[in-house]
């Protein structure tokens, strides 16, 4: 096995189609005769539909059908794209009589064109009985108002859910007696950290089209990260067998977790099922902002206790998470807020992590890059920075004393051992890159402005241990080119390419000899989908296993054709040969396999991992803050990442830079704001600002690789961890500039100004 492509910055296989604007996305390839579907949305945050009159709307020329709760075909289900049985509760119907947030679906209108549908939407008359809404998630638990009082609400897994208490999940985990150890510590810092909902804001909004095929089956083409989960969820929602559904994923215009929730698929699917006609839905940006799957708002209470020499002895984390109107990803995101923040510190005598996840009357939350770790790491890393300030110790030195290192057991991370961990190297390299010792904590520029630095560490996982499944099919075609069939979903990240890089190295062939195809649930091998930072690590290992088996088969066929024993031959990528003896080319083996052959040159293998090795990283930021206005900007952001072996340095670097900038947006200004009636004010890119290229300063990314023994070629994950350092690092830099700790995101100039001028 030669190492020709792994660790090389090769172009993505689909790059030229993307840069030349080829029609490869859902809306580009949708049939032109699709019915246009739109959703009528609730103007109130909580209520019961008492009457819904569609008679006038149905008379609009071009309107095909109007569907209401009376047309709901199946039982309660979850839109969360997770492995069955889903931890997320079965709490929603496609169309329900009860509306639970401003924007909740009330009716579906389908028609020949947008104008007819828009007109009909305005003519539907709905009478609501309003119910008081829960808009502050701190009041949700055990509130007398219930978001899900219904008897058919169902939780499939033991996650501590109770709909009669507005609880979507609740649990705790501990080691030792935290309260006792904290009481014995010389220093304890305690803080309550509030992170808000954030939008993934991928450039392609949610969208799906559907049609009936030759065999009378429902075909769904969707911009999704989870095609196989979509099939199951549609079956639950529509009440039809899974065998009647096929899901296809074309190119996706970004996901970041948003499309791990089945946001739009049910609507055209129901219309196609009812009418037999092709149908599509394209969410507006407004819909993507108000009726989607944003990050869970969390309030994280942290206590960190240490001796005066800086030894951290105990950490306690309590997280209150707001899942909104429905429970998608509620029980699972919250876990990461503790399990991926506390283990950054080793040798704790005690820790405690407990949480409640509550329903409220705002848009349902979902999966967003970082998935709870982002929120927890903001809290814990901020608390550790505050501890350093209290101890009058350099926060880098405090981390050097306490951070997890290779070979250590991480009790708060399911007892896993850090078999690959270069966090110490990441920290020392980042420190060099930003010139920490010269710049910490700040420098007064003499013009009212201060330059300061901040630091944070982060970890994530690589797939969900003992759960996520990746499968790969490899087959040899005419002349010896290979088909690599995958069920994981390239959403722009380049996984189709990096899996091909691995396959090419395993098979000793050129990258061009590997044709990648995915995803079609009728033909692709099963994969849970691309989320939880699983694809490189889990599906990548499936590639390695599959290629090994395929090599054996190639050798078997080659040996038979050479009329020698299989044990005698070797395969070098081009030919099967007996050393010093006869040989046959792969081309001949491939072509002869199409005549009088019974040993198919095709292999499918599956992989799942009992562990989820964390990637690690360190982020350091330098900002310049204007003490008169509170305005501040990023000058420099350095990030050093340990993702194990880097499979494609370009793609890993761009993942990192992209994640950093999303994190910078979250730290500085991205905010989902509701008014007192539960209306989302952040409903467009005018109100919800994401960073432009003028806002990110200079990003500098390097890798300090460890070697993960359970990963393909030593690789771990990269996709999610990269969003986790900006929040605490920027909060730290703002403290170093102003002496003020900001514990609620985003840290806007207005908040800084108010803090500096005593206006809080």
Would you say 99 or 258 has its CB closer to another protein?
A: 258
Report if residue 673 touches another protein, rule: CB under 8 A. Answer: no
Structure tokens at 274: 């009812």
Query: What are the Cα distances from residue 574, in Å, to 541, 555, 563, 578, 590?
Result: 23, 11, 19, 13, 11
Largest CA distance in the chain: 88
CB of 638 to another protein, least distance (A): 12
Report if residue 648 touches another protein, rule: CB under 8 A. Answer: yes
Cα–Cα distance for residue pair 22/117, rounded to 1 Å: 29
Nearest to 486 by CA among 441, 516, 453: 516
Structure tokens at 438: 């010269």
CB of 314 to another protein, least distance (A): 36
Report if residue 662 touches another protein, rule: CB under 8 A. Answer: yes
Q: Which of 102, 159, 182, 201 binds another protein (CB under 8 A)?
A: 201
Q: Which of residues 18-47 bind another protein (CB under 8 A)?
A: 18-25, 28
Residue 683 phi, psi (nearest 5): -95, 5
Element (H, E) at 400: helix 395-402
Report if residue 650 touches another protein, rule: CB under 8 A. Answer: yes
Report if residue 251 touches another protein, rule: CB under 8 A. Answer: yes
CB of 700 to another protein, least distance (A): 9
Element (H, E) at 757: none
Chain center to CA of 697 = 25
Report if residue 479 touches another protein, rule: CB under 8 A. Answer: no
Element (H, E) at 751: helix 749-756
Q: Which of 693, 758, 759, 760 binds another protein (CB under 8 A)?
A: 693
C-beta neighbour count of 472 within 10 angstroms? 31
Residues 576, 580, 585: CA angle, nearest 5 degrees: 25
Would you say 21 or 216 has its CB closer to another protein?
A: 21
Cβ–Cβ < 8 Å for 320, 200? no
CB of 531 to another protein, least distance (A): 15
**How many helices, marked H, and strands, marked E, lie in the chain?**
19, 29
Cross-strand pairs, 754: none
Rg of the chain's alpha carbons, rounded to an integer? 27
CB of 684 to another protein, least distance (A): 5
Would you say 21 or 610 has its CB closer to another protein?
A: 21
Q: Which of residues 486-505 bind another protein (CB under 8 A)?
A: 491-494
Would you say 74 or 649 has its CB closer to another protein?
A: 649
Q: Which of residues 76-95 bind another protein (CB under 8 A)?
A: none
Q: Which of residues 204-223 bind another protein (CB under 8 A)?
A: 204-205
Report if residue 690 touches another protein, rule: CB under 8 A. Answer: yes
Length of the chain, in residues: 760
Three-state DSSP at 560 gives helix
Cβ–Cβ < 8 Å for 414, 690? no
C-beta neighbour count of 604 within 10 angstroms? 17
Q: Which of 335, 573, 659, 719 binds another protein (CB under 8 A)?
A: 659
Q: Which of 102, 134, 233, 252 binds another protein (CB under 8 A)?
A: 252
3-state secondary structure 633-646: EEEEEEEEEECECC
Query: What are the Cα distances from residue 464, in Å, to 82, 154, 173, 496?
Result: 11, 23, 18, 20
CB of 664 to another protein, least distance (A): 8
What is the full DSSP assignment across 9-71? -PPPTTHHHHHTT-S-BHHHHS-TTPEEEEEEE-SSSSEEEEEEE-HHHHTSTTEEEEE-GGG
3-state secondary structure 590-604: HHHCCCCCCCCCEEE
Would you say 253 or 630 has its CB closer to another protein?
A: 253
Q: Which of 144, 203, 447, 759 binds another protein (CB under 8 A)?
A: 203
Would you say 17 or 628 has its CB closer to another protein?
A: 17
Would you say 81 or 250 has its CB closer to another protein?
A: 250
Contacts with another protein by CB under 8 A: the residue count is: 58
Cα–Cα distance for residue pair 614/653, rounded to 1 Å: 18
Report if residue 200 touches another protein, rule: CB under 8 A. Answer: yes
CB of 682 to another protein, least distance (A): 13
Report if residue 61 touches another protein, rule: CB under 8 A. Answer: no
Q: Which of 66, 169, 202, 220 binds another protein (CB under 8 A)?
A: 202
Would you say 16 or 55 has its CB closer to another protein?
A: 16
Residue 445 phi, psi (nearest 5): -85, -5
Report if residue 243 touches another protein, rule: CB under 8 A. Answer: no
Cβ contacts of residue 691 below 8 Å, gap of 6+?
Answer: 661, 662, 664, 665, 668
Q: Which of 660, 730, 734, 737 binds another protein (CB under 8 A)?
A: 660
CB of 705 to another protein, least distance (A): 18
Would you say 64 or 670 has its CB closer to another protein?
A: 670
Q: Which of 580, 596, 598, 686 binds another protein (CB under 8 A)?
A: 686
Looking at 249-257, 579-587, 606-614, 670-678, which segment touches another protein (CB under 8 A)? 249-257
Report if residue 657 touches another protein, rule: CB under 8 A. Answer: yes
CB of 251 to another protein, least distance (A): 7
Structure tokens at 685: 């890119």
Would you say 176 or 254 has its CB closer to another protein?
A: 254
Q: Which of residues 730-759 bind another protein (CB under 8 A)?
A: none
Q: How many Cα atoms occupy the beta-carbon half-sphere of 568 within 13 Å?
A: 16
Report if residue 595 touches another protein, rule: CB under 8 A. Answer: no
Looking at 162-170, 200-208, 669-677, 737-745, which segment touches another protein (CB under 8 A)? 200-208
Report if residue 254 touches another protein, rule: CB under 8 A. Answer: yes
Report if residue 634 touches another protein, rule: CB under 8 A. Answer: no
CB of 285 to another protein, least distance (A): 4
CB of 489 to another protein, least distance (A): 11
Q: Which of 124, 651, 668, 730 binds another protein (CB under 8 A)?
A: 651
* Burial degree of 137 (CB within 10 A; 0-12, 13-18, 19+): buried
Q: Print the binding letters for residues 258-287 with another protein: x by CB under 8 A, - otherwise.
A: --------------------------xxx-
Cα–Cα distance for residue pair 636/698, rounded to 1 Å: 5
Element (H, E) at 301: strand 297-306
Report if residue 15 touches another protein, rule: CB under 8 A. Answer: yes
Report if residue 290 touches another protein, rule: CB under 8 A. Answer: no
3-state secondary structure 491-534: CCCCHHHHHHHHHHHHCCCCHHHEEEECCECCCCCCCCCCCCCC
CB of 200 to another protein, least distance (A): 8
CB of 742 to another protein, least distance (A): 23
Asked if residue 746 has a cis previous peptide bond (ω within 30° of 0), the answer is: yes
Would you say 286 or 508 has its CB closer to another protein?
A: 286
Cβ–Cβ < 8 Å for 554, 589? yes
Cβ–Cβ < 8 Å for 130, 44? yes
Binding residues (CB under 8 A) for another protein: these are 9, 11-12, 14-25, 28, 200-205, 251-256, 284-286, 491-494, 648, 650-651, 653-654, 656-662, 684-686, 690-694, 696, 698-699
């Amino acid at each position: 096995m030669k190492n020709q492509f792994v660790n090389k910055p090769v172009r993505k296989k689909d790059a030229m189609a993307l840069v030349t604007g080829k029609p490869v996305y859902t809306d580009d390839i949708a049939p032109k005769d699709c019915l246009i579907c739109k959703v009528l949305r609730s103007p109130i945050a909580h209520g019961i539909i008492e009457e819904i009159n569609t008679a006038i709307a149905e008379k609009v020329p071009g309107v095909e059908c109007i569907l209401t709760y009376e047309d709901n075909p199946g039982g309660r289900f979850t839109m969360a794209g997770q492995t069955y049985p889903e931890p997320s509760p079965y709490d929603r119907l496609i169309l329900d009589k009860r509306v639970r947030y401003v924007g909740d679906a009330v009716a579906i209108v389908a028609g020949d064109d947008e104008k007819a549908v828009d007109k009909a939407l305005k003519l539907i008359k709905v009478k609501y009985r309003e119910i008081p809404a829960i808009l502050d998630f701190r009041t949700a638990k055990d509130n007398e108002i219930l978001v899900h009082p219904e008897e058919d609400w169902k939780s499939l897994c033991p996650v501590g859910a109770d709909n009669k208490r507005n609880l979507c999940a609740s649990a705790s985990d501990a080691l030792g007696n935290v309260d006792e150890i904290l009481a014995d510590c010389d220093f304890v810092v305690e803080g309550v950290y509030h992170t808000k909902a954030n939008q993934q804001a991928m450039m392609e909004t949610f969208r799906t089209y559907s049609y009936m095929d030759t065999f009378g089956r429902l075909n769904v083409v969707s911009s999704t990260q989870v095609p196989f989960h979509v099939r199951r969820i549609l079956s639950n929602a529509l009440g039809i067998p899974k065998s009647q559904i096929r899901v296809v994923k074309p190119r996706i215009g970004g996901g970041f977790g948003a499309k791990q929730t089945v946001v739009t698929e049910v609507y055209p699917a129901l219309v196609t099922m009812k009418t037999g006609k092709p149908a599509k839905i394209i969410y507006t940006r407004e819909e993507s902002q108000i009726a989607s799957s944003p990050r869970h708002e969390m309030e994280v209470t942290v206590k960190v206790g240490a001796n005066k020499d800086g030894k951290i002895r105990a950490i306690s984390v309590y997280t209150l998470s707001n899942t909104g109107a429905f429970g998608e990803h509620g029980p699972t995101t919250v876990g990461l807020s503790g399990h991926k923040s506390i283990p950054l510190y080793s040798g704790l005598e005690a820790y405690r992590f407990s949480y409640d996840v509550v329903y409220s009357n705002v848009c349902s939350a979902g999966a967003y890059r970082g998935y709870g770790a982002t929120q927890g790491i903001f809290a814990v890393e901020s608390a550790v920075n505050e501890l350093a300030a209290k101890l009058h110790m350099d926060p880098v030195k405090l981390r050097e004393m306490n951070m997890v290192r290779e070979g250590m057991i991480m009790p708060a991370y399911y007892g896993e051992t850090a078999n690959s961990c270069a966090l110490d190297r990441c920290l020392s390299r980042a420190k060099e890159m930003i010139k920490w010792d010269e710049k910490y904590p700040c420098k007064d520029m003499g013009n009212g402005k201060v330059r300061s630095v901040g630091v944070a560490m982060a970890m994530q996982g690589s797939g969900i241990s003992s759960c996520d499944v990746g499968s790969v099919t490899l087959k040899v075609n005419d002349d010896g080119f290979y088909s690599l069939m995958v069920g994981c979903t390239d959403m722009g990240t380049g996984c189709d390419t990096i899996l091909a890089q691995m396959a090419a190295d395993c098979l000793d062939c050129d990258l061009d000899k590997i044709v990648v195809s995915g995803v079609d649930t009728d033909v692709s091998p099963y994969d849970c989908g691309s989320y939880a930072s699983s694809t490189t690590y889990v599906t990548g290992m499936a590639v390695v296993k599959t290629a090994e088996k395929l090599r054996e088969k190639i050798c078997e066929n080659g040996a038979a054709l050479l009329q020698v024993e299989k044990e005698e031959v070797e395969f070098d990528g081009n030919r099967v040969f007996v050393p010093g003896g006869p040989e046959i080319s792969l081309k001949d083996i491939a072509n002869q396999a199409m005549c009088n052959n019974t040993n198919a040159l095709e292999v499918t293998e599956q992989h799942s991992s009992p562990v989820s090795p964390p990637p690690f990283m360190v982020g350091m930021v330098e900002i310049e803050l204007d003490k008169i206005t509170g305005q501040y900007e990023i000058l420099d952001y350095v990030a050093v990442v340990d993702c194990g072996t880097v499979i494609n340095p370009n793609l890993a670097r761009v993942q990192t830079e992209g994640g950093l900038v999303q994190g910078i947006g979250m730290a500085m200004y991205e905010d989902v704001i509701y008014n007192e009636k539960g209306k989302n004010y952040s409903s467009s890119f005018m109100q919800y600002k994401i960073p432009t290229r003028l806002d990110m300063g200079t990003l500098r990314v390097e890798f300090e690789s460890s070697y993960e023994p359970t990963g393909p070629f030593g690789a771990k994950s990269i996709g999610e961890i990269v969003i986790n350092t900006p929040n605490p690092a920027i909060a730290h830099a703002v403290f170093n500039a102003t002496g003020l700790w900001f514990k609620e995101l985003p840290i806007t100039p207005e908040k800084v100004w108010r803090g500096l001028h005593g206006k809080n």
